Each structure stands twice: as C-alpha cells, then as structure tokens.
C-alpha cells in the first residue's frame, strides 16, 4: 500500500511539474509591458489619447518592417510625421473623434495587413486564435480590459464608411464607371474630384484607403470599387463620357455598410470545361478554412475527370486569401506526382514581435548571415532572418501531366499571394495577368492593444523575401506573361486575361 501511495505521489509530482513547466512556458511567450485595465471605457483625456498613440508609434517603429517600402511607394514618410499625428490626436474632442483620427493615421501606413480593428473585426478575430501556437495573439485579444472596452466601442463606432455613390474599376490606368449613375454611363471615365485630377486626389487622401503601385505606369492607384470621402459635404466630380464630353456633377456621399457577419459561402470553387478534352478551368474565390474539406471533394472529383487534359487554367483573381492549407491540400497536392518546393526568406526586427515568433516556433539568425541572394536595401533596418522552404507533397494525386496557367491580379493577397509566389518559385504553374497584391510570405500579422483605449491594431511582423531575392511587399509577385483588361474588352464584357490564357493553350 505504501509503495502504491509513493507511486501515486510520484506521478502527481511529475504531472504537477509538467503542468507548471507548461504554464510557465506559456507565460514566457508574452510579457506585455502595457496591460489594459479591466474596466469599462471612459471618456479619454487628451493625455491618455496621446499616450496611446505614442505607445503605438513606438511599437511600430520598433517592429514594423515596411516603412521604407511604403515611403518609396507613396512618397509619404510615416515615421517623420509623429508631431503632426500627435496634433491630430490632441484635436480629438471625444472618443469617437479619437477613434476616427487614429484609424486615419494607421491607414497612412499603407500596408493592407496593418489597420485599426473595428468592433466587428475585433469580435471576429478574438474568437479565432486558439491553441498554444496562438497564445501571444490570445493574450492580447482576450484581455478583460480589451473585451470590456470593445463592448463600449461597439456602441460608439459605426461599421459603415462614407463613399461617393458611384462604382469604379481601374482599367488601363483610368478609373472607369462600372455601372450607370444618373446621366453618366458605364464606361465613362472619372477625370477629377474637387478640381483635382484623380491621381493627385488619391495621393492627397491616403488616410482613407489602401493604394497599390502600377509599375507599368509608374503611379499609385486604388483598386477599390468605391471611393471613400469625408461626410458632411458634396463633392464636385467631373467625368469624360465615351463621346468625349465633360460632365460635372455634385455628388452627396452615402453610407456604405460593411458587414462581415454573413454566413460563409457553401463553396469557394467553380469548375468548368473551356474546350472539351483540351482546356479545363478552376476558379478559386477564397482560400477559406470553412470550405476546405467540402471543396476538397469537389476539386478532387473535377481533377479526376480532367486528368488527361493537356491544359488547366486556375483562376485566383480577386482572391484576398484565407488559409494556406486550402491551396496546398486542395489545389496543388492532387496535381503533382513528386514534391514541389520554393525557398523563401523572412526578416524581422524589434522586441515586441518576439513572443509571436516564439509561439509559432520560429528560430531566427542574425541578419549579418543572410545570403547575398536575399539582400536588398530594405534589409538594412532588419535584425534577424529565417530561410525556409514552402513544400507541397503529392496527396490524392490524379496523375495530371498537363500544363497549368495561374490567372492573377492585384487583388491576390495574403494566402492567395503565397500560392502565387509558390507557383512562381517552384515552377508549378505559369502566371498570367498583372502583378499581385503582395505581402503573402510569413505568418499572421501580430496585434497590439493600446493601454488606455483598449483599441487593437494589427500589423505585419515579417518582411517576406521571394525566391528570386525581391521583397514581396515591394515587388509583389510579377506575372510571367503580362496581360490586363483592356478598355475595349471592358466595354464589350470580354475577359482579356482569360482569353490570353486560352490563346496560350495551343
């Protein structure tokens, strides 16, 4: 009996040590120097607002990797505008004005993975990070003070944005009406707003939207279909009609409701035959975790039916990302008979992000050891790096031996961008279309909670470097065969890029 008791006590002590060791290991993952007080949101003082901004500014200065890249893209030096931003923060008369000012300031960073979390976005994100590998994210998002304050922010902040009541499409360097509006018609071109040509207007209003860079025409542009503006005034807008006439209108802004709480689609893939026994087509609209398993069966059945086709066109245009596992297991693995890989690098700097890297098991090396292949002027500010290989092994292979074309555009971002980069680096598919949206190499953006307001800002933490040594956020992934929608095809309703891919299938 005593022996059994000793064994039980010994087992208990082992379990206790393992538990405490695991608990301490988790606690060491994150050690925030600012904890949000567990209390409801109060009206913030000017000093508290400035303190929140300075904490955010110092965190981004310490760890955000893309300031030089974004400055080269837009000509705006975010770090150099600290005093101007502080004046904007001080001018905020209440909590709502503080939120609005902070949102615009963060937008000026001009990285699509970097932004202030709205109450709805916070709710969606805070429920999504579970498991030890996500402990750093969870510790920030699940703070009682953050939860309580976001509950109060949801009563103050609207999820809508103010936009002009017209829908646009960027076509061959111009902003073209995508639908009729009163006496201006689809195909008419937006020339100016408030007597400024559209390019100048965009450059002067970077706080309202995210812009891309058109390297063919050497200018920034907006690929959103709606133009964000300030509320409370009318805007003088001039169009050039298809008959080359000028039409000027005074447009009153409208509220555009943003609602991401809708039910997910039942499927994010579509399959069809473009030419019997020759060209198959797969459209992937999102790399969604929600439909990863159900879409797997659809895609496998389709692949099985076209395995002897000489050509397959995979279309990810408009795909903003999701889960890398979708493209690895659903799209790529069944089409290969041997492993495909692409070597990439990721560079890091700062202290704030270290717990997020540790949580994902990322071990880095000193930047001085980075191979010359991955070096660029943007590496100068980085401190650590990791070289890794994105590899996909065959799974449920259907024995496809044909040629694959991947259709891409500037909406391809995050996980879909990582797929495009993999295709480019591994030779899995040839890219047809325009340059992608970028920032798809690395792990999830990290999050930082501001101590007084409880507001959370997420930001990219790694500088992804393509297999050819270019920085992904700078060059994105360039197509192998450039093709863009022409104005003539837009008017006719033709798909220039898809037609180009079909033309290649000869």
Asked whether residue 9 carries a pLDDT value surpassing 50, the answer given is no
pLDDT at 4 (0 to 100): 34
What count of residues does the chain have? 506
CA-based max dimension of the chain: 100
DSSP-derived 3-state class of residue 6? helix
What pLDDT score does 265 carry?
Answer: 82
Q: Please give the average per-residue pLDDT across 432-438, as a whole number.
A: 95
Token pair recorded at residue 68: 């030089």
Q: What is the CATH number of domain 269-504?
A: 3.90.226.10
- pLDDT-based confidence at 17, cuts 50/70/90? very low
- pLDDT for position 264: 67
Least Cα distance to 116 among 456, 501, 478, 492 occurs for: 456
Side-chain-side CA neighbours of residue 346 (13 Å)? 20
CA atoms of 66 and 473, how far apart (whole Å):
8
Whole-angstrom CA distances from 242 to 144, 168, 251, 457 are: 57, 15, 20, 43
Contacts of 171 (CB under 8 A, 6+ apart): 485, 486, 487, 490
Mean predicted confidence (pLDDT) in 54-60: 98
pTM of the full structure: 0.89
Band the pLDDT of 28: cuts 50, 70, 90: very low
Confidence class for position 10, pLDDT limits 50, 70, 90: very low
What is the per-residue pLDDT for 506? 86
Instruction: Tell me which of 12-21, 72-81, 334-343, 416-425 is least confident.
Output: 12-21
Predicted confidence band of residue 25 (pLDDT cuts 50, 70, 90):
very low
pLDDT at 181 over 70: yes
In the prediction, which pLDDT does 104 show?
Answer: 97
What pLDDT does 53 receive? 98
Q: Please compute the mean of the pLDDT values over residues 255-278 and round it to a whole number.
A: 83
The secondary structure of 85-113 as a DSSP string is HHHHHHT--SHHHHHHHHHHHHHTT--TT
Strand order in the sheet with 115-116: 115-116, 456-459, 446-449
* Residue ranges covered by each domain of the chain: 160-257, 269-504
DSSP structure class, residue 244: S
pLDDT given at position 89: 98
* 314 Cβ neighbours under 8 A, 6+ residues apart: 282, 284, 331, 404, 405, 406, 407, 429
pLDDT band per the 50, 70, 90 thresholds, residue 66: very high
pLDDT, the chain, mean: 91
Please tell me the CATH code under which domain 160-257 is placed.
2.30.42
């Amino acid at each position: 009996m005593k022996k059994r008791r000793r064994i039980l006590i010994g087992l208990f002590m082992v379990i206790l040590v393992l538990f405490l060791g695991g608990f301490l290991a988790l606690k060491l993952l994150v050690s925030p120097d600012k904890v949000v007080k567990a209390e409801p949101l109060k009206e913030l003082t000017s000093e508290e607002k400035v303190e929140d901004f300075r904490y955010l500014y110092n965190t981004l200065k310490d760890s955000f990797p893309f300031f030089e890249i974004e400055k080269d893209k837009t000509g705006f030096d975010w770090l150099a505008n600290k005093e101007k931003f502080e004046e904007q923060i001080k001018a905020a008369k209440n909590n709502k004005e503080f939120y609005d000012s902070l949102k615009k300031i963060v937008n000026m960073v001009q990285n699509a993975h970097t932004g202030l979390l709205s109450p709805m976005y916070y709710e969606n994100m805070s429920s999504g990070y579970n498991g030890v590998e996500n402990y750093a994210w969870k510790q920030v998002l699940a703070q009682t003070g953050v939860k309580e304050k976001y509950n109060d922010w949801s009563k103050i902040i609207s999820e809508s944005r103010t936009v002009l009541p017209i829908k646009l499409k960027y076509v061959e360097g111009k902003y073209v009406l995508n639908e009729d509006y009163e006496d201006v018609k689809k195909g008419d071109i937006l020339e100016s707003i408030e007597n400024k040509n559209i390019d100048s207007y965009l450059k002067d209003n970077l706080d309202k939207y995210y812009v891309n860079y058109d390297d063919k025409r050497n200018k920034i542009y907006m690929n959103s279909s709606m133009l964000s503006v300030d509320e409370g005034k009318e805007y003088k807008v001039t169009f050039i009609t298809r008959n080359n006439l000028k039409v000027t209108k005074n447009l009153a802004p409208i509220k555009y409701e943003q609602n991401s709480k809708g039910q997910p689609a039942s499927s994010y893939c579509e399959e069809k035959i473009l030419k019997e026994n020759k060209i198959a087509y797969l459209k992937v609209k999102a790399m969604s975790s929600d439909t990863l398993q159900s879409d797997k069966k659809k895609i496998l059945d389709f692949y099985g039916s076209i395995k002897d086709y000489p050509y397959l066109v995979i279309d990810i245009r408009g795909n903003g990302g999701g889960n890398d596992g979708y493209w690895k297991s659903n799209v790529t693995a069944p089409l290969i008979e041997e492993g495909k890989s692409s070597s990439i690098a990721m560079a890091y700097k700062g202290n704030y992000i270290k717990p997020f890297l540790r949580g994902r098991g990322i071990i880095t090396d000193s930047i001085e050891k980075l191979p010359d292949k991955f070096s660029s002027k943007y590496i100068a500010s980085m401190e650590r790096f990791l070289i890794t290989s994105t590899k996909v092994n065959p799974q449920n292979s259907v024995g496809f031996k044909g040629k694959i074309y991947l259709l891409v555009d500037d909406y391809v971002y995050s996980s879909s961008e990582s797929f495009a980069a993999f295709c480019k680096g591994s030779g899995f598919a040839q890219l047809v279309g325009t340059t992608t949206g970028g920032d798809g190499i690395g792990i999830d953006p990290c999050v930082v909670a501001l101590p007084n307001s409880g507001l959370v800002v997420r930001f990219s933490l790694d500088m992804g470097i393509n297999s050819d040594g270019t920085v992904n956020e700078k060059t994105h992934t360039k197509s192998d065969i450039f093709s863009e929608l022409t104005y003539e095809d837009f008017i006719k309703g033709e798909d220039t890029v898809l037609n180009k891919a079909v033309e290649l299938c000869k």
